[in-house]
């Protein structure tokens, strides 16, 4: 569409003017905002952009590879993937309090990103070194950080749009999505050639599976949860509601699986099993401040539970969360 093409052209010109022949670094999370910002900046300045993707080991199944495939493989952008899962999981060992887990994950994320940014600032690939830090800040973030902040908003900010970082690193800020609402960011992403599934993804919290494994985060739990959650998401995407013609993924605002570190009894063949429980969570909401649990079809729930129990050895019970917000929250931690 012409309007969008003009928008892109204008945004590209603006970025080129602002950056000149300097170098830019960007923290790529795989989320919508940082992905669209990366694609747009890459369109404008190509290899003057380096993306840093910190993999904390608490992402969804194969997510790290998918991010690399898209940005390095298809867009040919420069991406540094930092596999920090051992560091994160090591620091999380023995920690059960949700806010403590958030602090550890958020803090380590900043440390790892800072270390990479400092390296790039010092060296750069062409010896010049980066002078800009790009962030996928969108208009609602701008309003939010100007007004009264909720505790959660601060947590989200401190993780994603790493506050104070440009000053600490002595970098100038580049925020090409600052004037856009979420819908506009999505349209821009599609126009830039990002896949629909990436641009219309459900939100994913910065601490990732770290807050979807209740209590202590163990590598074994993360592996089970990743596989169970991948089945749930795959089935939501493939189940089409005949009335609207939309998939249940698109009909829900956020859907995921929660790992409960409790064991319940089951039977398999002649023997008993004593395995873990997961909860499926799916909500419909317009603002994430209030949310209704989604009335998923029984056929879908049945298929998901059957697949998880059969395919993920170690999980023998699947439950569905029928709590709305308030008083429950969307996440379990
Ligand atoms: P709750 O659970 O409070 O979640 O109903 C509301 C929305 O916020 C997301 N959320 C987070 N996002 N860091 C984030 O980046 C966090 O620590 C965090 N906690 C909750 C949640 O996924 C939902 O979309």
The ipTM estimated for the assembled molecules is: 0.99
Asked if residue 167 is part of any domain, the answer here is yes
Residue nearest to atom 22 of ligand 1 (CA): 205
d(CA 21, CA 45): 9
Same domain? 86 vs 184: yes
Of the candidates 154, 176, 199, which is a domain's last residue? 199
pTM for this model (two decimals) = 0.92
Structural domain harbouring 37: 2-199
Asked if residue 329 is part of any domain, the answer here is no
d(CA 240, CA 228): 20
Asked if residue 302 is part of any domain, the answer here is yes
Same domain? 177 vs 235: no
Asked if residue 204 is part of any domain, the answer here is no
d(CA 181, CA 261): 39
Ligand 1, from 152, 158, 229, 333: best to mutate by most atoms within 8 Å of Cβ? 152
Q: What is the pLDDT of residues 169-220, one digit of tens each?
A: 889 999 999 999 999 999 999 999 999 999 999 999 999 999 999 999 999 9
Question: Which residue has tokens 């989200």?
Answer: 156
Asked if residue 326 is part of any domain, the answer here is no
Asked if residue 165 is part of any domain, the answer here is yes
Same domain? 178 vs 59: yes
Q: How far is the CA of 206 from the centre of ligand 1 (A)?
A: 8
Average pLDDT estimate for 1-7? 84
Q: How far is the CA of 205 from the centre of ligand 1 (A)?
A: 5
Same domain? 238 vs 142: no
Which protein residues are within 6 Å of ligand 1, measured from CB?
A: 102, 152, 155-156, 159-160, 203, 205-207, 254, 288, 325, 329-331
Number of Cα atoms under 13 Å in the Cβ half of residue 171:
30
Asked if residue 81 is part of any domain, the answer here is yes
Number of structural domains in the chain: 2
pLDDT band, residue 155 (cuts 50/70/90)? very low
Q: What is the pLDDT of residues 102-136, one digit of tens each?
A: 999 999 999 999 999 888 877 655 557 899 999 99
* pLDDT number for residue 146: 62
* pLDDT number for residue 126: 52
Quick one: 244 exposed, middle or buried, by C-beta within 10 A (0-12, 13-18, 19+)?
A: exposed
Q: What is the pLDDT of residues 293-314, one digit of tens each?
A: 999 999 999 999 999 999 999 9
Same domain? 84 vs 219: no
Q: CA separation (Å) from 130 to 21, 35, 41, 49?
A: 10, 19, 14, 9
Same domain? 129 vs 223: no
Q: What is the DSSP string of 256-317?
A: EEEEEEEEEEEEETTEEEEEEEEEEEEEE-SSSSSBEEP---HHHHHHHHHHHHHHSTTEEE
* pLDDT number for residue 162: 53
Of all atoms in ligand 1, which is nearest to the CA of residue 204?
22
Of all atoms in ligand 1, which is nearest to the CA of residue 332?
2
CB 128 within 8 A of CB 22: yes
Q: Which of 4-18, 147-161, 319-333 has the lowest mean pLDDT?
A: 147-161
Q: Report the CATH number that the domain containing residue 88 is assigned in CATH.
A: 3.40.50.620
d(CA 168, CA 114): 9
Asked if residue 248 is part of any domain, the answer here is yes
Binding site annotation covers 34? yes
Same domain? 130 vs 221: no
Of the candidates 169, 199, 229, which is a domain's last residue? 199
Binding site annotation covers 215? no
Same domain? 43 vs 175: yes
d(CA 53, CA 26): 9
Binding site annotation covers 85? no
Same domain? 143 vs 6: yes
Q: How far is the CA of 71 from the centre of ligand 1 (A)?
A: 26
Same domain? 272 vs 315: yes
Q: How far is the CA of 120 from the centre of ligand 1 (A)?
A: 31
Of the candidates 150, 171, 199, which is a domain's last residue? 199
Same domain? 221 vs 186: no
Same domain? 195 vs 216: no
Q: Counting every residue, how long is the chain?
A: 333
Residue nearest to atom 4 of ligand 1 (CA): 330
Binding site annotation covers 321? no
Binding site annotation covers 32? yes
Q: Report the CATH number that the domain containing residue 295 is assigned in CATH.
A: 3.30.300.10
Q: How far is the CA of 127 from the centre of ligand 1 (A)?
A: 40
């Amino acid at each position: 569409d012409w309007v969008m093409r003009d928008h892109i052209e204008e945004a590209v010109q603006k970025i080129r003017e602002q950056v000149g022949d300097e170098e830019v670094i960007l923290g790529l999370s795989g989320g919508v905002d940082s992905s669209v910002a990366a694609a747009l900046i890459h369109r404008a300045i190509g290899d003057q952009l380096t993306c840093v993707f910190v993999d904390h080991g608490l992402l969804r199944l194969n997510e790290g590879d998918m991010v690399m495939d898209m940005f390095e493989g298809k867009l040919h952008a420069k991406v540094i993937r930092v596999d920090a899962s051992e560091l994160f999981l090591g620091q999380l060992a023995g920690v059960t309090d949700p806010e403590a887990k958030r602090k550890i994950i958020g803090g380590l994320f900043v440390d790892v990103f800072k270390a990479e940014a400092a390296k790039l600032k010092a060296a750069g690939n062409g010896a010049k070194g980066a002078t800009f830090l790009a962030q996928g800040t969108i208009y609602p973030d701008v309003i939010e950080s100007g007004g009264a902040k909720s505790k959660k908003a601060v947590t989200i900010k401190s993780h994603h749009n790493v506050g104070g970082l440009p000053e600490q690193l002595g970098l100038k800020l580049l925020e090409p999505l600052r004037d856009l609402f979420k819908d506009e960011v999505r349209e821009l992403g599609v126009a830039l050639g990002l896949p629909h599934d990436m641009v219309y993804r459900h939100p994913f919290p910065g601490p990732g599976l770290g807050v979807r494994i209740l209590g202590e985060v163990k590598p074994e739990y993360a592996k089970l949860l990743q596989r169970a959650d991948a089945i749930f998401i795959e089935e939501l995407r493939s189940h089409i509601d005949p009335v609207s013609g939309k998939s249940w993924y698109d009909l829900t605002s956020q859907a995921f699986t929660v790992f409960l570190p409790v064991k319940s009894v089951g039977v398999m063949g002649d023997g008993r099993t004593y395995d873990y429980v997961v909860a499926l969570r799916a909500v419909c909401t317009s603002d994430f401040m209030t949310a209704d649990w989604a009335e998923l079809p029984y056929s879908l729930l049945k298929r998901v539970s059957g697949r998880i129990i059969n395919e993920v050895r170690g999980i023998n019970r699947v439950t569905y969360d029928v709590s709305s917000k308030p008083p429950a929250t969307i996440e379990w931690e």
